[in-house]
Amino acid sequence: MHTATAPSTRPATVHHFLAPGPQAAPEARRVAARTLAAHPADCPYGTAQDILVIVSELTANAVQHARPPYALTLRVEPGRAGIAVSDASHTLPRQPGGSDVLATRGRGLEIIRALGADLFVSPSPDGKQVIAVITWPGEHGLPAAIPSNG
């Protein structure tokens, strides 16, 4: 007997508190990879790989520049994903000053933008969230959030 399943239209959302140290980034990546694997119809493979890079960069930045507790929130739905990493620091991310092509640090936010994500920072009484939103075309080349009239 064969069973067909329709693509998921429910968003997949995960909120995960992360370890307070360098293990936070690999842990966040594992959590994101499991979430994306559980909802493969929602996100193309290449975009899923980009999301994992974004998760790694945001988490590594939090560990390097902020203080715990850290948490990852990932919401994936057809055509869009939101990735938020929260920390307990009120210091907002700085944009790198200048374009030193030989720099080995300070490129995380540039990498995230180069992958097509929009970046936001949301301060809170407990710290902040750095949020990346990435979109991709849905069925028939239209963004998934826009219904097709054809």
Whether the per-residue pLDDT at 67 is higher than 80: the answer is yes
Instruction: Choose the most confident range, by mean pLDDT, from 3-7, 117-121, 144-148.
Output: 117-121
**Count of beta carbons in the 10 Å neighbourhood of residue 62:** 28
Whether the per-residue pLDDT at 97 is higher than 50: the answer is yes
In angstroms, the Cα distances linking 54 to 1, 10, 51, 114, 148 are 40, 22, 5, 10, 30
Residue 68: Cβ-neighbour burial (10 angstroms; 0-12, 13-18, 19+): middle
Cα–Cα distance, 80 to 75 (Å, whole number): 8
How do residues 10-65 score in pLDDT, each as one tens digit? 678 999 999 999 999 999 999 999 999 998 877 899 999 999 999 999 999 999 99
pLDDT band at 69 (very low <50, low <70, confident <90, very high): very high
Q: Which residue has tokens 């949301």? A: 122
How do residues 100-143 score in pLDDT, each as one tens digit? 555 556 678 899 999 999 999 999 999 999 999 999 987 534 44
